[in-house]
Chain A
Amino acid sequence: MSSPDPEGLDLAALVRGDADAPPSPEAALGAAALRADLDQWSAPEPPADLAERTLARIALAAAAPPVHEPHSALEVLTTQPFAPAPGTKRRGLVIRLCVQALAACLLFGVSASFTAFVYPAVVHALEEGRLEACQLRLTRLARALEAYRNANPGADPLHGAALRRALIEGGFATAEDFVCPGAGGDLHGVDSFVGAKPGARDDYPVFWDRFGNHPQGFNVVYADARVELLDVNDLQLKPAGR
């Protein structure tokens, strides 16, 4: 197909402002008018955390599958944060002393000391609850994805917003499932979880938290509905094909 412009003139370049030889003053004015129209439509700035989330997605996609056996969300909660460490005896002694001190504080009615001990524990317990609720929702999403794939064999792969829409519109998941309890309810809305392209492998990460939803790290659920709590600093970029 040849250029449709008359006499070899590049009218499109004239509109873009690249051409310096307009065919007529009217064409030059018309091009300026059209350019003024087109320039009205400016593109929005990308989100500030777009690069960070992209790097995380790449790192997750390239992450080696975990070598240990699948475990439940509850096991993650009970084993990872409270794993036994060296010096348990000494720690036990410290804890006992702390408990005694706490009891003393209670006995003597020192409410300030009481608050200082109990408040962090309450906060910790609440956050643990949010972490567990988040993991349960992620598990539901992974199962919803499996149900969607079974109901739509051979469908085009979906990811991200398209996948989210398909799961909700198909009745496989609810909008609430996509909201992380650690993100402050509606704070991040349905963007709290970002879905990845469904892979054929069971160890493929399919949904994960946004960073900052939980102080302990971020949750990832794999295609087999197994949940894992990861630290963003542990992610390694691995170029493919190497």
Chain B
Amino acid sequence: MPAEAPRRDESLVTALAAGDPGALTELMHRYQRPLYGYLVRMLGSREDADDVFQETFLRVVRHAGRFDPSRRFRPWVYAIASNLIKNTYRARGNRASQSLEPHDEEGPSLLSTLVGRSREPSEAAQREESAERVRSAVERLPEKGRNALVLFYYQGLPYAEIAEVLEVPVGTVKSRIHNALGKLGHELASKEGLS
């Protein structure tokens, strides 16, 4: 007898809207690690990430009845979290969203950054790039670029889903990620004295 296929996220939201608390537990189990990681990276604080995680799922429960099952759950839940992150930034008085550059301006080309950083893979593996240095460099990116980058690189979302989360066209998403990676690579290389 074939094993039962796991229920899709969208089916679980429908079940949750019908009053099945087990569906909520399953959704939370599936999203606990990735969503918490996203929140910590965006907020820079475990305490705030903890709060926003709770608030995100509170909103999932509140709005489960309005979820359109023909849409995908993942960008929906990330969109809720992303909006709550913005609220948290506002509550902090925009301290966390301050960056080196006030706008999402174009930085160095990603291609030139990559070529400038080229080296043997063995060297790259041996480098002791501290997590703190990367975190600090990502934190200084403009908020829109940082969000797109974290969703793309660390959360592994495809462009189309990031566009749904951020409510912008796919081209804008690509542009933001491209700029963010270019700046990030340039800054990390600058700190190492590579450029």
A residues lining the B interface (CB < 8 Å): 1-6, 10-12, 14-16, 23-34, 36-38, 40-47, 50-51, 53-55, 57-58, 61-62, 156, 158-162, 166, 191, 194, 197, 237-242
**With a CB–CB cut-off of 8 A, which chain A residues contact B188?**
34, 37
- Are B64 and A240 in contact (CB-based, < 8 A)? yes
Chain B residues with CB below 8 A from A1, complex form: 169, 171-172, 174-175
SS class, residues of chain B in contact with chain A = helix
Minimum distance in angstroms from B66 CB to a CB of chain A: 7
Listed by A's residue number, 18 A-B pairs whose Cβ atoms lie within 8 Å are A2-B175, A5-B111, A12-B178, A29-B119, A29-B124, A33-B124, A33-B127, A34-B188, A38-B134, A42-B131, A43-B37, A58-B54, A58-B58, A161-B48, A162-B88, A162-B91, A194-B54, A239-B65
B156's nearest neighbour on chain A, judged by CB, is: A16
Contact of B91 among A3, A23, A156 (CB under 8 A): A156
Give the size of the chain B interface in residues (CB under 8 angstroms).
78
**Cross-chain pair count, CB within 8 angstroms:** 209
CB distance from A49 to the nearest CB of B (A): 10
Q: A4-B179, A241-B66 are in contact. Are A33 and B47 (CB under 8 A)?
A: no
Tell whether, in the assembled complex, residue B177 and residue A12 are in contact, meaning their CB atoms are under 8 Å apart: yes
Set of chain B residues within 8 Å of A40, measured between Cβ atoms: 129-131, 133-134
Residues of A close to B177: CB separation below 8 A? 12
The answer to whether A237 and B50 touch across the interface, beta carbons within 8 angstroms, is no
Please state if A27 and B129 are interface contacts (CB–CB under 8 Å). Answer: no
Is A32 a contact partner of B32 (Cβ separation < 8 A)?
A: no
The A contact surface, by secondary structure, is helix
8 nearest A-B pairs in the assembled complex, by CB-CB distance: A160-B51, A43-B37, A30-B114, A29-B118, A240-B62, A46-B36, A26-B118, A241-B65
Question: With A27-B111, A30-B115, A54-B54 given, is the CB distance from A160 to B48 under 8 Å?
Answer: yes
Q: Across the two chains, which residue of chain A brings its CB closest to B33?
A: A46
**B92 to chain A: which residues have CB within 8 Å?**
162
Given contacts A239-B16, A241-B63, 9 further A-B contacts (CB under 8 A): A14-B114, A33-B118, A40-B134, A44-B46, A62-B61, A156-B91, A160-B52, A162-B91, A239-B64
Q: Which single residue of chain B is at the shortest CB-CB distance from A241?
A: B65
Task: Give Cα A32 to B118, complex, Å.
Answer: 8
Assess the A32–B113 pair: CB atoms within 8 A.
no
Instruction: Judge whether B72 is part of the interface by a CB distance below 8 angstroms.
Output: no
Judging by beta carbons under 8 Å apart, are A11 and B110 in contact? yes
User: Which residues of chain B are near A10, meaning CB under 8 Å?
Assistant: 174
Cα distance, A4 to B62, chains bound together (Å)? 39
Contact, CB under 8 Å: A34 / B117: yes
Task: Give residues of chain B (33-49) contacting chain A, Cβ–Cβ below 8 Å.
Answer: 33, 36-38, 40-41, 45-48
Look across to chain A and name the residue whose beta carbon is closest to the beta carbon of B130: A40
Q: What A residues does B152 contact at CB under 8 A? A: 12, 16
Q: Tell which of A43, A156, A241 touches B41, judged by Cβ atoms closer than 8 Å.
A: A43
